[in-house]
Amino acid sequence: MNNIWNKVYSDDFTFFGEGPSDFAKKCYEYFIQNNVKRILDLGCGQGRDTIFFSLKGLEIYAVDSSIVAINSIQKFNEKNNQSINAKCIDAKQGLPFDNDYFDAIYSHMFYNMDFTNKELEFLFQESNRVLKTKGLLCFSVRSDKDELFRSGFKIDKDEEIYEIHGFQIRFFSIEQIKSLLLSFQFKMDKIVQSNEDLANLYLVFCYKYEIF
């Protein structure tokens, strides 16, 4: 996956746009309401939302599998006197952070990469591990209402992943999202359907609940 994105980001320095996503703006307001200070941008890409959060004064950590993306964030750090902690990692191997470390995890269209069901479950398990109790998990995914859903070539008969224009994309139903959250100790706050970046998305706002 990282080789594909290294090429994409090398060819286009603003592949997803220059300014922050609408989802990031919504999440920032949500973070402020919930007194969030330290966040992880999971699958940060070229960092347009990472940079937005950093400039807003949040303590921001960012991870991505593309070294090209991470290098661009580090260059931004140097030029703008910011202190974004950016790391190139394979999240499928685990998140390199302590338990209960973050107030919130933010992830924009990361989970709809071509992860297997087991890999996806592991990512949610890891997200739970590094979040504090009552920590927020805010993520967006391509929805089953997207016009590209079930177009292209289906990668696996048991998973809603399709190869479309050279990218492998996973689509989600609300039922699948709710099942994942329930399985990994997350309680739903709200799901919002939204059109952004030429995609129909589910915007998910939830939190890690405490087990007594």
DSSP track, 143-164? BTTSTTTT-SEEEETTEEEEEE
User: pLDDT per residue over 180-204, tens digit each?
Assistant: 999 999 999 999 999 987 899 999 9
Residue 150 CA from chain centroid, whole number? 22
The distance in angstroms from the start CA to the end CA of the chain is 39
Determine the pLDDT at residue 15. 47
- Per the confidence metrics, is the pTM higher than 0.95? no
CA distance 205 to 186: 10
User: pLDDT per residue over 97-145, tens digit each?
Assistant: 999 999 999 999 999 988 999 999 999 999 999 999 999 999 999 999 9
User: pLDDT per residue over 37-78, tens digit each?
Assistant: 999 999 998 899 999 999 999 999 999 989 988 998 998 898
Bridge partners for 169 per DSSP? 162
For residue 171, name the pLDDT band (cuts at 50, 70, 90).
very high
CA distance 145 to 156: 20
Residue 205: closest CA among 36, 57, 85? 36
Residue 11 has pLDDT above 60, yes or no: no
